[in-house]
Chain A
C-alpha cells in the first residue's frame, strides 16, 4: 500500500476511489498523528478558499457587456421604437409642411430611417467582434524572403510541385539568419498551439564555432555534470553503456542493428548514434579513451556518406553528417580538405532533398515527416555553429512546415504507419506520450536553430516536458522522447532546479551489462539494442553535450 500521507489531500477533497477512501479512514481511526495531519490539510484548504474574492469592476462589466451583449439599442429608438414615434413624427412634419404632397417624402424618409435602424440592430445582435475576419484555421504569417536569396517566393503555391529549389549554401554564407520565435499564437486552441515566427538577420560570422570543443573538455564535462545535478551514478552509467557499445562494434567500424534485434537498413543511423554517444563523452577520432572506436566508426560513416545511393534514408544521412561534424569540431579548428568536401556534399544533399513544404521525408521525394526533419535541422544548425554555411530558406522552410503541421492537425501527434515503425505526423488523437515526443523534438530543433532560448519557449518546453514525462508509464520506454526531453532540459536556463525524473528512470532501465533493452519502445524493433543504448546514453550525456 502506498504512503497514506500522499493521499490525504485527495481524501479531504473526495477524489479517492471508494476502496482507497475506506482504507484511509481505517488508518485515520487508528493513527492520531495521521488524523492531525489530515485535519491540518483540511484547515489549510479552507483557509485558502476563504481568502477574499474580488468583485468585477464597473469597467469590466461595461466592457464585457459591450463585447458580448446582444443589442438592446440604448443609442436609438430602433425599428419598433420608431413605430411608436410615428404619430408624433407625422404630426410634426405635417404641421410644418405646406401640404399633403410632402407626406410621400416624409413617409419614404421615415421608412429609410426605420430600415437603417433595423439593420444596425441586426448588426449589433452579433457580439462586437469582427467575426467575418476571424480565421477558421490559424494562418502562420511567415513572409517569404526575396527571390534573390534563392528562397521560395510563395511556399503555399509551390506545395507539391517539383523540382525542388536548388540551394547553393556557399553563396549564402553571409546571409544566414537565426530565427527568433516571436510569440505563440494560441487563440484558444485546446491542443498544443501553432507557432508564429518572425525572422531577423544577424551576421553569421559572429556565430562561428562557439565553444563546441570546450563543451567536450573532460573538466568542463565534470563541471556541467555537477551543475546539472548529475552525480557519479549517471556518469558511471554512461561509461558502462559506452563499454557495451565498444564490445558490440563490428570489425568494419559500424554497428549492425540486426545483430541486436533491429533492422539492417538502419545501420548507418545506428552507427552515427553510437558514435555521437562517444563524441559526447569527450572522445574523438584522434584523442580520448575511445579514439580507436571513434576513428573506425567515422571511417565507416565517411565511406557510407560517399558511396550510399542518393535515395538513402535521410534521417540516417543527417545523423551520419552530424557525427562527422562533431568529430571534425573536436579534432581541429578546421576540417581537412577531404573531410570538408564530404561535409559540404552531405549538407548540400540535406538542402536539396528538402520538400517544398519545408520539411524532409525519410527518403528523397517521400512526404515530409517531423521525425526526419528534426534531425536535418539539428545537423544544419550544428554545421552553422562550426561555420559551415547553411541556407536561410532551409531553416525558414522548416519553421513553415512545422507551423503548418501544427496548425493543420491542431496537435503534434504521431501515427504508426505500420511498416518501419517510425511513424509520421498525423491528425490529433495520438497518445500523449507521442505528442510529447514530437513537441519536445520540434521545440528542441527550434531552439537549436535559434541558438538562444527565450523565456516563452522555456515555459512551453517545460510544460511539454512535464506532460510527456508524466504520461510515461513507469514500465514504458521511449528513448527518443528521453533524448529530446533531456537535451531540451539541459539547454534551458540554469536558474531552475533540474527535474531528474527522467534521468532516474533511464538509470533504472539500464541492464547489468550496460546496455538498454529496446523492448517496450515504439521504435525499438527498428533500432534494436544498439540504438536503444546509444540514445539512452545521449540522453544521459545531455548536461555536457
Chain B
C-alpha cells in the first residue's frame, strides 16, 4: 500500500527529502487548477505552484502529523494567494480570457479549451458560457471564492477548509452558502438580460 501523504511528509521531516517529490507529484495538478481558477492566469498559476511547494518544503519542520497534509498544503497556498492578491490589486484587473497567450501562438486561453467536435456556433456558445461562469466566479470576494474553490473544486471538507482559512466550520458553511447564492443570482440576472 502506498504511504499516506502524512507518512511521506513525516519522513521528509526526518531527512528523507527525496520523498518530497512524491508529494509534489500527487498534488501539483490539483494545486495548479486551484490557482488557475483563482486567477485565470496559467503562467501565474504555474509560478504559484512552484512557490507553494518551495514554501511547503521550507516549512516542513512546522508540519504536525496530526494535521492532514492537504490542510497544510492549502493553508500555505492560501497565504501565498493573499500575497498574489495584494500584488494584483496594484496591477489592475485580471487578464481576460481573450487576452492572447504569451506562448506565441496568438490563441487565447479560451481558444485552447478543446471544443470536442462541436459546430462553430455551439463552440461559440460554449465559450460564452464558460466566460460567464468564469466571470461569475471572479466576481466573488476573495474569501467566498477561496471557500467555494476549496470545497467544490478541491473537494475538501468544511472542517479542513476551516483549518486552512482559520475560520470556524460554521463560517465555512455560511460562506459557501453565500457564494452559491451570489453565483446563482449573477447567472440568473444574466439570463434575464
Residues of A bordering B, CB below 8 Å:
6-10, 13, 15, 40-41, 44-45, 47-49, 51-57, 59-60, 63-65, 67-70, 125-127, 129, 131, 134, 136, 183-184, 186-190, 193, 410, 432, 455-456, 459-460, 463, 466-467, 470-471
Judge whether A456 and B76 touch: CB under 8 Å: no
Judge whether B90 and A455 touch: CB under 8 Å: yes
Q: Which residues does chain A contribute within 8 Å of B83, judged by CB atoms?
A: 183-184, 186, 456
11 contacts between A and B (CB under 8 A): A9-B177, A48-B133, A48-B137, A57-B42, A57-B46, A60-B32, A183-B83, A189-B62, A455-B90, A463-B143, A466-B143
Judge whether A48 and B153 touch: CB under 8 Å: yes
Judge whether A60 and B50 touch: CB under 8 Å: yes
Judge whether A410 and B62 touch: CB under 8 Å: yes
Judge whether A6 and B177 touch: CB under 8 Å: yes
Judge whether A10 and B173 touch: CB under 8 Å: yes
Secondary structure type dominating chain A contacts: helix
| Among listed B1-9, B117-125, B163-171, interface-contacting one | B163-171
Q: Find residues 17-70 in chain B having any chain A CB closer than 8 Å to their own CB.
A: 17-18, 20-21, 24, 28-29, 32-33, 36-37, 42, 45-46, 49-50, 53-59, 61-62
Q: Which residues does chain B contribute within 8 Å of A459, judged by CB atoms?
A: 82, 85-86, 89, 142
Q: Could you list 5 further interchain pairs (A-B, Cβ under 8 angstroms) beyond the known A48-B183, A51-B134, A125-B17?
A: A188-B59, A455-B89, A459-B86, A463-B82, A467-B166
B174, CB-defined interface residue at 8 Å: yes
Write the chain B residue with the least CB distance to A8.
Answer: B177
Chain B: minimal CB distance from A465 (Å): 11
* Among B18, B21, B45, B50, contact of A63 (Cβ-Cβ < 8 Å): B50
* Cα of A69 to Cα of B170 in the assembled complex, Å: 40
Secondary structure type dominating chain B contacts: helix
B79, CB-defined interface residue at 8 Å: yes
Judge whether A6 and B174 touch: CB under 8 Å: yes
Judge whether A68 and B21 touch: CB under 8 Å: yes
* Among A52, A63, A131, A187, contact of B59 (Cβ-Cβ < 8 Å): A187
* Cα of A184 to Cα of B80 in the assembled complex, Å: 10
Which of A48, A55, A186, A456 neighbours the largest number of chain B CB atoms within 10 Å of its CB? A48
Which of A13, A184, A432, A460 neighbours the largest number of chain B CB atoms within 10 Å of its CB? A13
Supposing A67-B50, A188-B79, A459-B85 touch, asked if A54 and B59 sit within 8 A by C-beta, the answer is: no
Q: Mark B142-174, 1 if CB is under 8 A from A, else 0.
A: 110000100111000110000001111011011
Write the chain A residue with the least CB distance to B77.
Answer: A188
Chain A: minimal CB distance from B164 (Å): 9
* Among B28, B90, B158, contact of A15 (Cβ-Cβ < 8 Å): B158
* Cα of A55 to Cα of B171 in the assembled complex, Å: 32
Supposing A45-B152, A53-B33 touch, asked if A190 and B76 sit within 8 A by C-beta, the answer is: yes
Q: Which residues does chain B contribute within 8 Å of A6, judged by CB atoms?
A: 174, 177
Judge whether B79 and A56 touch: CB under 8 Å: no
Q: Which residues does chain B contribute within 8 Å of A60, judged by CB atoms?
A: 28, 32, 46, 49-50
* Cα of A470 to Cα of B174 in the assembled complex, Å: 10
Chain A: minimal CB distance from B154 (Å): 10
3 nearest A-B pairs in the assembled complex, by CB-CB distance: A188-B59, A188-B55, A70-B18
Chain A: minimal CB distance from B141 (Å): 9
* Among A67, A410, A460, contact of B53 (Cβ-Cβ < 8 Å): A67
Q: Which residues does chain A contribute within 8 Å of B72, judged by CB atoms?
A: 190
* Cα of A55 to Cα of B85 in the assembled complex, Å: 23
Q: Which residues does chain B contribute within 8 Å of A68, judged by CB atoms?
A: 20-21, 24, 53, 57
Judge whether A432 and B173 touch: CB under 8 Å: no
* Among A64, A190, A466, contact of B49 (Cβ-Cβ < 8 Å): A64
Judge whether B89 and A470 touch: CB under 8 Å: no
* Among B57, B134, B158, contact of A127 (Cβ-Cβ < 8 Å): B57
Judge whether A13 and B176 touch: CB under 8 Å: yes
Judge whether A455 and B86 touch: CB under 8 Å: yes
Chain B: minimal CB distance from A494 (Å): 15
Judge whether A41 and B184 touch: CB under 8 Å: yes
* Among B17, B152, B158, contact of A49 (Cβ-Cβ < 8 Å): B152
* Cα of A30 to Cα of B37 in the assembled complex, Å: 38
B180, CB-defined interface residue at 8 Å: yes
* Cα of A456 to Cα of B151 in the assembled complex, Å: 26
B11, CB-defined interface residue at 8 Å: no
Judge whether B167 and A470 touch: CB under 8 Å: yes
Q: Which residues does chain B contribute within 8 Å of A189, judged by CB atoms?
A: 59, 62, 79
Write the chain A residue with the least CB distance to B47.
Answer: A60
* Cα of A45 to Cα of B33 in the assembled complex, Å: 16
Write the chain B residue with the least CB distance to A190.
Answer: B75
Judge whether B32 and A470 touch: CB under 8 Å: no
Q: Which residues does chain A contribute within 8 Å of B82, judged by CB atoms?
A: 459-460, 463
B192, CB-defined interface residue at 8 Å: no
Write the chain B residue with the least CB distance to A472.
Answer: B168
Q: Which residues does chain A contribute within 8 Å of B56, judged by CB atoms?
A: 188
Write the chain A residue with the least CB distance to B79.
Answer: A186
Q: Mark B98-129, 1 if CB is under 8 A from A, else 0.
A: 00000000000000011000000000000000
